[in-house]
Structure 1
């Protein structure tokens, strides 16, 4: 999992970017306050920082300078400030890229991957940018965990496949029934679905009672995370 610290006081934008990057094995922790970000950087390790410039309490350029002084971590400036001087100063201070707002989240994703590949080119601890714990092959009707085939029944496979396709998002029980031919015909109640979920966890989780991947979202449904 690639760990990213974001310093962004626009909570709506931060939420959108966090959800988007999550599907690419990137875990984003957002900080609305610059000083909270600095404190976290002293306590935790991050692979990359996404930094806004217009922040409460401290200008983003000053924050960039503080980060570069104390931490060896790549920085992407994400800012609505269009002054070329800001861009030049940010890059001179040590930022690795400057992305003017507004932008498509897909461009941010590509830039993150590009910078991390370059930054970790000579490192033995290069984060895996695309590799995920679970992968599926619809043609072969296979689910694999860390490259190893997971033996599932047809009904279990349908449930896991649907949740993997919606990875990171909550899928309701009704939606699972609606998207499964086998469950519609063979399992017609929530209790039976719970049994199937439990069987899946027995096969994919290290501790089925405390699932890491197939999570229950109380009152809403299930979510697959990795």
Structure 2
């Protein structure tokens, strides 16, 4: 049974979403404040974290930062704001997905299922990728640049694997988004991909301002440029 760590203070949302997730067969651990969440996180092991951005004693972003110090567990934000700055901030600090209130229950459950499915698929991989001084050990979920271990979020890791598995092939934004989220890409803002690409380049490129590994192909998308 998959365990979901759910941090939310709105009682009406808690009741409906918890019931729906349990009906899907998930075990739910609930916290309503940052203080409560920190205590439960230390004690438990989870397959997915769902964080409300606005909490009585602070922000879900603070919890995300703390989690990312020790774990790559998938994280989804619930946000009442549809502002690009709020969304990009959540992704920049290590979030994997977000959904803006109000949302349809079916969409919410679909996003949960997709996040868990992608995480499971990557954990089951048993090969190694090598290109441009980057080595990915898929069994361990580790990435090295010139033999130095990189600190990638789960989403950055998945995006890098997608590029390295398709060297020299131009991947459209739509294809990348559908592979990353494994659900209807119409639900995903294309600005999200821009954030991921920029963030990944800062970690794997020698000069992020002049990328040589992840190339932008104007009006078409992106490709992994083999320069070895």
Relative to the length of structure 1, the TM-score reads 0.53
Q: CA deviation at 1:64?
A: 1.4
1:28 equivalenced with 2:32 (yes/no): no
Q: CA deviation at 1:118?
A: 0.9
Contact 1:38 1:67 in 2 (8 A): no
Q: How does 1:146-225 map to 2 (within 5 A)?
A: none
Q: Distance in 1 between matches of 2:33 and 2:70?
A: 18
Q: What is the CA deviation profile of residues 62-89 of structure 1, one whole-angstrom value per residue up to 9, with x for unaligned ones?
A: 2211111222211110111222101001
Counterpart in 2 of 1:81? 81
Q: How many residues align?
A: 125
Q: Distance in 1 between matches of 2:66 and 2:80?
A: 21
SS where residue 3 of structure 2 aligns?
A: strand
Q: What is the CA deviation profile of residues 155-197 of structure 1, one whole-angstrom value per residue up to 9, with x for unaligned ones?
A: xxxxxxxxxxxxxxxxxxxxxxxxxxxxxxxxxxxxxxxxxxx
Q: CA deviation at 1:123?
A: 2.3
Q: Distance in 2 between matches of 1:43 and 1:113?
A: 24
Counterpart in 1 of 2:2? 2
Q: Distance in 2 between matches of 1:96 and 1:60?
A: 13
Q: Distance in 2 between matches of 1:29 and 1:107?
A: 21
Is the alpha carbon distance of 1:71 and 1:35 closer, same or farther for their aligned partners in structure 2, counting shifts above 3 Å?
A: farther
Unaligned runs of at least 5 residues, structure 1: 125-226
Counterpart in 2 of 1:117? 117
Contact 1:11 1:32 in 2 (8 A): no
Q: Distance in 2 between matches of 1:59 and 1:90?
A: 11
Counterpart in 2 of 1:45? 45
Q: CA deviation at 1:59?
A: 1.5
Relative to the length of structure 2, the TM-score reads 0.52
Q: Distance in 2 between matches of 1:21 and 1:106?
A: 11
Q: Distance in 2 between matches of 1:28 and 1:103?
A: 20
Q: Distance in 2 between matches of 1:109 and 1:25?
A: 12
Contact 1:53 1:81 in 2 (8 A): no
SS where residue 121 of structure 1 aligns?
A: helix
Counterpart in 1 of 2:70? 70
Q: Distance in 2 between matches of 1:43 and 1:100?
A: 29
Counterpart in 2 of 1:193? none
SS where residue 73 of structure 1 aligns?
A: coil
Unaligned runs of at least 5 residues, structure 2: 125-228
Contact 1:4 1:49 in 2 (8 A): yes
Q: Distance in 2 between matches of 1:7 and 1:47?
A: 14
Contact 1:78 1:100 in 2 (8 A): yes
Contact 1:18 1:27 in 2 (8 A): no
Q: CA deviation at 1:17?
A: 0.2
